[in-house]
Chains A and B, each alone.
Chain A
Amino acid sequence: MSRRRLAVVSAGLRVPSSTRLLADRIAEATSDELSRRGFEVDLGVVEVREHAHDVVNHLATGFPSESLQAALDLVAGADGLVAVTPIFNASYSGLFKSFFDVLGERTLVDRPVLIAATGGTVRHSLALEHALRPMFSYLRAAVVPTAVFAAPEDWGGGDAQGSLRRRIERAAGELAAEVARREPARPADPYALTATFEQLLSGEGTDQG
């Protein structure tokens, strides 16, 4: 049976975290859908909070600690990514953004990504569309159409609970379909030469800017 790797990046700060709760539910729904499609799923979770100091140190020095490197490798090697952040000041949290700032710029090219967020009011929900989606578009990720936002009323049961579940299932189905139709991800080797000497000398082989 073919295997696919699913990575979850969750940038919640509290324990228990509603951000992590949402991330887990999306990951489970995506895994179930991939299983239905005949894939075995390896799931890896990055709690960004655990790398908070290392992320800042990476920004300061230019290189990651060993544990942050492992987290970045987990994301780089994933066939699909679930990225979940709390909404702060009408955007992703700074720590969430910083984590992706230290991820190599080309890491997520053509990589299926599901974006999701939690917030204190449903009026934050469009932050997914005006903050997260443009960032992942810049990174040339394949962001699935359905973004999942969970507000306090979504956790309260009744209809709202049903609505969140339907949104999660729809988004997870989209992510699973994107993962399923691709070959397994092969992370780029940062030490690989991408141009011949003659191309480098003529300036043709470099993709600057």
Chain B
Amino acid sequence: MQFGIFTVGDVTPDPTNGRVPSERERIKAMVTIALKAEEVGLDVFATGEHHNPPFVPSSPTTMLGYIAARTSRLILSTATTLITTNDPVKIAEDYAMLQHLADGRVDLMLGRGNTGPVYPWFGQDIRNAIPLTFHNYDLLRRLWREDVVDWQGRFRTPLQSFTSTPRPLDGVPPFVWHGAIRSPEVAELAAYYGDGFFANHIFWPKEHTQRMVELYRTRFAHYGHGSPEQAIVGLGGQVFMRKNSQDAVREFRPYFDNAPVYGHGPSLEEFTARTPLTVGSPQQVIDRTLTFREYVGDYQRQLFLVDHAGLPLKTVLEQLDILGEEVVPVLRREFDALRPAHVPDAPTHASLKAARDAAAAGGSDPDARPAGGATAGVGNR
């Protein structure tokens, strides 16, 4: 099982002293946090993508490329890459480029983001969010899997004899997760292609996440990629820890009360009861996180949000120390002991390459899509 962190990249005033980091400070802090993640033994660092203040990460592959050069083991990912407003051609190129630079330590999570105004900034219409998701992803897959693409669609100029460059590392496209909070259509998209499904989890009650993951697993099996419990699931989580739980609550409360998204709404106690947010001792975080599998099944990736709402860098690095030293080793052991042998790990570049090579030797296509589901242009890779 993979453990990691995901960051929104918000520049938020520290509510305890009003201090606002500069953009440069925040960007450098994100890098420091990523390096720390590798140092303490986490597996994944994922950055958000935003195109408006108060957020800094508008250019994820620039940041991830820089982090790639300074790490050796960490998987670099996104949370999320905007499949709706980015040109799929640019996504195909940027992430293939990053694959080469990072020696394959790359996957990405596609999503729609939560910023309505972003659509017109990139010439799109929010009412097309779902068709854009399906359309653009269809093209993205072809650009990675076909050397020469002829393509015509609703949302972008046609392509004729186009080759996206560089080609994916070893001819193996990055693994794709589809992230969603509330759109069942996204679970369907992930299931159809046998891709991963990442439930944001942190902003909504667990009953909701349970239903979304259940839908994804059912459809994953429907499309013939394996049994429901073999589907590839990731979850978000949100934690703040101190040795004594009261200290954690006291220290985190002002950040919670003023946080973007849910601040000035429910109390910390109400939000903790209703969502995965856990503020307390490392043991409380371990116990709570272990309950996730009780309602989504055995899953492959757990990402924690630890660096938002104006928390100072020093505090975030302390959180990562606690995660790496006290929490994740226990979670790894416990989850691994509970997981049945037929439930796979999250795909990596190495495992996808090995599967591809094995299939080539055996004559079957590991990346096969369901029969009868192909649409114009999808089938010819």
Contacts and interface: CB of A to CB of B under 8 A. Distances in A.
A5 B192 CA distance: 39
A201 interface: yes
B262 interface: yes
Contacts of B131: 200-203, 206, 208
A189 to B, nearest CB: 9
A193 B185 contact: yes
A1 B211 CA distance: 34
Contact of A61 (B127, B134, B135, B261): B261
Contacts of A61: 203, 261-262, 265-266, 271
Contacts of A209: 127
Contacts of A197: 188-189, 192, 373
Interface of B is mostly: helix
A192 to B, nearest CB: 7
Interface string B155-194: 0000000000000000000000000000011001100100
A177 interface: no
A62 B58 CA distance: 25
Contacts of B215: 191, 193
B147 to A, nearest CB: 23
Contacts of B261: 61
B129 interface: yes
Given A62-B204, A63-B204, A201 B135 contact: yes
Contact of A203 (B128, B192, B274, B373): B128
Given A63-B204, A203-B135, A57 B130 contact: no
A14 to B, nearest CB: 26
A200 B265 contact: no
A192 B184 contact: yes
B211 A63 contact: no
A144 interface: no
A19 B203 CA distance: 35
B37 interface: no
Interface string B202-246: 011100100110010001000000000000000000000000000
A206 B112 CA distance: 15
Interface residues of A, number: 23
B154 interface: yes
B380 interface: no
A192 B211 CA distance: 10
A63 B185 contact: no
Contact of B189 (A63, A191, A192, A200): A200
Interface string B108-135: 0000000000000000000111110011
A46 interface: no
A200 B262 contact: no
A80 B289 CA distance: 42
B375 interface: yes
Given A192-B184, A200-B189, A203-B154, A63 B373 contact: no
A197 B135 CA distance: 11
Nearest to A63: B204
A56 interface: yes
Contacts of B203: 61-63
A198 B375 CA distance: 7
A201 B375 contact: yes
B138 interface: yes
B270 interface: yes
Nearest to B374: A198
A206 B125 CA distance: 14
B188 A193 contact: yes
B127 A208 contact: yes
A201 B204 contact: no
Given A197-B373, A201-B134, A206 B274 contact: no
Nearest to B154: A203
A57 B270 CA distance: 10
A15 interface: no
Contacts of B271: 61
Interface in A17-70: 56-57, 59-63, 65-66
Contacts of B266: 57, 60-61, 65
A191 B212 contact: yes
Contact of B265 (A56, A190, A202, A208): A56
A109 to B, nearest CB: 19
B128 A208 contact: yes
A201 B138 contact: yes
Contacts of B188: 193, 197, 200
Interface of B: 127-131, 134-135, 138, 154, 184-185, 188-189, 192, 203-205, 208, 211-212, 215, 219, 261-262, 264-266, 270-271, 274, 373, 375
18 contacts: A56-B265, A59-B265, A60-B266, A61-B266, A61-B271, A63-B208, A65-B266, A65-B270, A193-B185, A193-B188, A193-B215, A201-B135, A201-B375, A203-B154, A206-B131, A208-B129, A208-B130, A208-B131
Given A63-B203, A65-B266, A208-B131, 20 more contacts: A59-B265, A60-B262, A61-B265, A61-B266, A63-B208, A63-B274, A65-B274, A192-B184, A193-B185, A193-B188, A193-B219, A197-B189, A197-B373, A198-B373, A200-B130, A201-B134, A203-B134, A206-B130, A206-B185, A208-B129
Interface of A: 56-57, 59-63, 65-66, 190-193, 195, 197-198, 200-203, 206, 208-209
